[in-house]
Each structure stands twice: as structure tokens, then as C-alpha cells.
Amino acid sequence: MENILIEKQDNIAIVTINRPEKLNALNKATIQELHDGFKSLNEDKSVKVIIITGSGEKAFVAGADISEFANFSVENGGLLAAKGQEILFDYVQNLSTPVIAAVNGFALGGGLELAMACHFRVASDNAKMGLPEVTLGVIPGYGGTQRLPQLVGKGRAMEMIMSAAMIDAETAKNYGLVNHVVPQVELLEFTKGIASKIARNSSVAIAKAIASINANYKDDINGFEVEIKNFGASFGTEDFKEGTTAFLEKRKAVFPGK
């Protein structure tokens, strides 16, 4: 892989987008590498949580690589969005392994869309976020018009997208776009601390929780019914046996890999 780095620490994997000279902008090659990396980590039973971040101190991802699509036709533009959503943005949202975005610096356009596709976000205090696509005569195409209103509400999403304005980390936290804001030097360690708490819990149960929560945001699917089904299915797992046995024996549960 030329554009991303993957490091494993205990049960946590850290994926770093490594194009600092381009402020980690997403091009086709990087999107494909991210897909391949996430797929491999999701299949790795030892990896219970994934953190994604950007290299350097300036940017998580400063946007898409505009030079790749500046001359696209209507058809090519539609295919670009469809393919990107399929192999990365929707893929990450529905991954059974939890994905946390550690947003360091700029998260603009496709970068913010990638962060929003993750299961939740932690930001450095110098982070700036926005969807500036309308300044280029286009709209967000990697899920931004759908996920931003879900996270911050329709009115704020309308304002952010139409004005193309950036917001700072504290505003993003107040909007509900990020869960935590910490000094940049503490960002990874803080995020790893949350990841460690998650990693101690049942990966099987967490995967079912992710699927159940996501079901609420899908058309023609009753999220309550999905929850009931996944709740019931949990009773047939080894993790349920270990968790309840440990509770009754007054000890900490030791869950196997996913």
C-alpha cells in the first residue's frame, strides 16, 4: 500500500492516510487501499477496534483529489459517487468492527464524509470541518447530504452545505458532529483509551449493536424489529455464555476474538 499505513497495537488497529504532501486528499487509489485495509482488518479476529487518522498535524483529509474528476461527464460523476460510497463510505458505516475517526486538523469535503461514515469521531482542538463542494459547482457525493443532517440536524446541515463554511472543533462538538475535543498531542492516546474500553467488550454483541443502530437509518427497515432479532440471536453466542457466567461468578468476562 502506497497511500495508507496500518499499525496494530494489542486489539486496536490504527489506519493512517499517508499523503501529507496532498493534505491526505482522497484519490481513487487511496479509496481502494482504504477499502482493502478495512476489509483485511475486519477479517482479522485479533482486531477489535479500528482508528483512522491522517498523517501530519495539518489534516485528517482535506478533501477529494479534484484533479481526478475536473473533466468528468455527468455519467462519470455519478459512477464516481456510487463506487466511492459502495467500497468505502457505506462500507465503513456498516463494518462490524467499530471504526473511530481521530480527526486531526482539516476534515473537508470527502474527508468529513469519511469521518461521518465512521461510527463516531474524536477531534483535535485545531480541527476544522466543512463541506465546501458548492464552491466548485457540485454537491457532496460521498454521503454528506445524508449523514450530516442525521448528526447535526437538517437546519445546521443546510447552512453548512449551502454556505460552504468551516466550523471549528468546539462548534462541531456542540453540534453533535464529534464526541470529544482534545489537544492535538493527546488525540491518538485519548482515542486509543476509548478503543481499549470497547475492545474489552463482546465483539459479537458490538457487531449486532452496530447493525441494529444503522437499521434505524435505512428505508423500509424497522429498526425495532432488527433490534429484537439481534437481541434474541445474542443468546445463542459463546460471548453471551461467557458474559453471563462471568457476571454470576463475580469476575471480569474474557471474550474471544470476533
Residues involved in catalysis? 113, 133
Number of H helices, E strands in the chain: 11, 10
Amino acid at 121: R
Which residue type occupies 33? E
**Cα–Cα distance, 126 to 255 (Å, whole number):** 37
Backbone phi, then psi, for 147, in 5-degree steps? Answer: -75, -35
- The residue with cell 485545531 is 126
Do the Cβ atoms of 203 and 258 come closer than 8 Å? yes
Helix (H) or strand (E) holding 144: helix 144-152
How wide is the angle at C-alpha 14 spanned by C-alphas 212 and 174, nearest 5°?
Answer: 60
Residue 146: which residues within 8 A CB-CB, separation 6 or more? none
DSSP class of residue 67? G
Distance CA 169, CA 97 (A): 26
Task: Give phi and psi for 256, each to the nearest 5.
Answer: -70, 180
